[in-house]
Structure 1
Amino acid sequence: MDIYALSPHAHLLAQPRMVSPLVVQEAIQGRYQLPSQAQWQDIIEDSSKISGVDAKLIAAVIKVESNNNPQAISPKGAQGLMQLMPSTQTYLGVLDPFDP
């Protein structure tokens, strides 16, 4: 059932984003580890300098879209920290959407 067809506000009731099976497998095997807060800040600052987008905006999008999970996959197929759809990845030349 497409909950978005029920109401314009149905998205507010949607389940949290699905966790990538790869993350689950790596977590079980003890290999998956999120970057530290300092590493996140460095990644965001570098991205801000490259893109010209404010670092606070990048951090906010990452938090909302993937909850800082670089392996996040949405039910609709968006991937990575900023939840890019595969067509957008192709358009932007993103080779690995899971690489922060």
Structure 2
Amino acid sequence: MGAFNAIVFKLVKPGGYYLVSDHAATAGSGLKNTEDLHRIDPAAVKAEVEKAGFVFDGEIKILANPNDDHTLKVFDPTIRGKTDRFIFRFKKPLH
């Protein structure tokens, strides 16, 4: 994740934006569920992207689903298409 974000940081023009969207995992779980549930802790994503040099610029909650308990694999038929997803917007500093 770090290498990818570093490449994106180099490609985005100063003042440009970078959007990241993924399926939310339980808060505090970090990267633990990326392989088994195909989910990631939003805080871990935010920390990794900021580590590359981007500045958090907001969140779009249109794909959020508070009824998703984050314990099922995103491909499970009972939750597929209805998972709790986040969209973060980051900005590359001007300097």
> For the superposition of Structure 1 and Structure 2, which TM-score range results when normalised by the shorter chain?
under 0.3
More RCO (CA 8 Å, sep 6+): 2
Higher share of residues assigned helix: 1
TM-score (norm 1): 0.22
Larger Rg: 1
